[in-house]
């Protein structure tokens, strides 16, 4: 035990857990971030809400009740202009649960007839914080850019290999962790969460 406040991230995704811990630490907020695998008998929470904010709150509330620990949850996704904002909240399940590569390939297939100059897209993220005493907060972040048709890069996950952020020639999957943290949708949202955590968590 470190004596620092503990926050549980409603995820088993090691990338997200380390990302949150890294960003909060860089912002000077020293908390212990753990994933739900640290707890037994965790409920599986279906993402049934139509919005990123709704899904983030749904998961954070369930995990906070199950653990008795302040819970943070994010819901994020890729919104493609030419697909009317889809896959959006369905990003992680776009191919019917077949995984990241299948999701990415399906998006590219659906954009097959779309001109290259109409491949604008953005990532959006909602991060919810729920405390055992019932207090809640939600923050948001976005990262704008465009898609490319050939995946590049081995960092990151999800749609990162085909997403080029504004001002970059590299995909998100070609950026270092530090570079991506500085501009990513989740990075923006987690930095927006820092002052909220300072106000709501026990003394740092």
List, in sequence order, every beta strand (DSSP E) within 12-82: 32-35, 71-80
**What is the rounded CA–CA span in Å between residue 45 and residue 190?**
22
* Backbone phi, psi, residue 132, to 5°: -60, -25
* CA 164/CA 175 separation, integer angstroms: 10
Determine the Cα–Cα distance for residues 30 and 27; give it in Å rounded to an integer.
9
40 catalytic residue (yes or no): no
For CA atoms 161, 164, 170, 174, the dihedral sign is negative
Catalytic residue among 75, 100, 133, 199: 75
Q: How far apart are CA 25 and CA 196, in angstroms?
A: 15
Catalytic residues: 75
């Amino acid at each position: 035990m470190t004596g620092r406040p503990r926050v549980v991230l409603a995820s088993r995704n090691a990338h997200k857990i380390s990302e949150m811990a890294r960003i909060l630490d860089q912002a000077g907020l020293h908390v212990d971030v753990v994933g739900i695998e640290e707890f037994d008998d965790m409920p599986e929470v279906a993402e049934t809400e139509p919005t990123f904010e709704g899904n983030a709150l749904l998961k954070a509330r369930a995990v906070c009740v199950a653990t008795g620990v302040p819970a943070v949850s994010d819901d994020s996704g890729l919104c493609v202009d030419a697909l009317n904002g889809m896959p959006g909240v369905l990003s992680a399940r776009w191919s019917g649960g077949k995984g990241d590569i299948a999701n990415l390939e399906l998006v590219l297939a659906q954009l097959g007839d779309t001109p290259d100059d109409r491949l604008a897209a953005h990532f959006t993220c909602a991060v919810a914080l729920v405390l055992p005493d019932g207090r809640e907060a939600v923050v948001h972040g976005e990262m704008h850019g465009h898609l490319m048709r050939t995946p590049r890069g081995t960092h990151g996950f999800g749609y990162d290999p085909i997403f080029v952020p504004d001002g970059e020639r590299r995909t998100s999957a070609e950026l270092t962790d530090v570079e991506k943290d500085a501009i990513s949708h989740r990075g923006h949202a987690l930095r927006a969460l820092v002052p909220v955590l300072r106000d709501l968590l026990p003394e740092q």
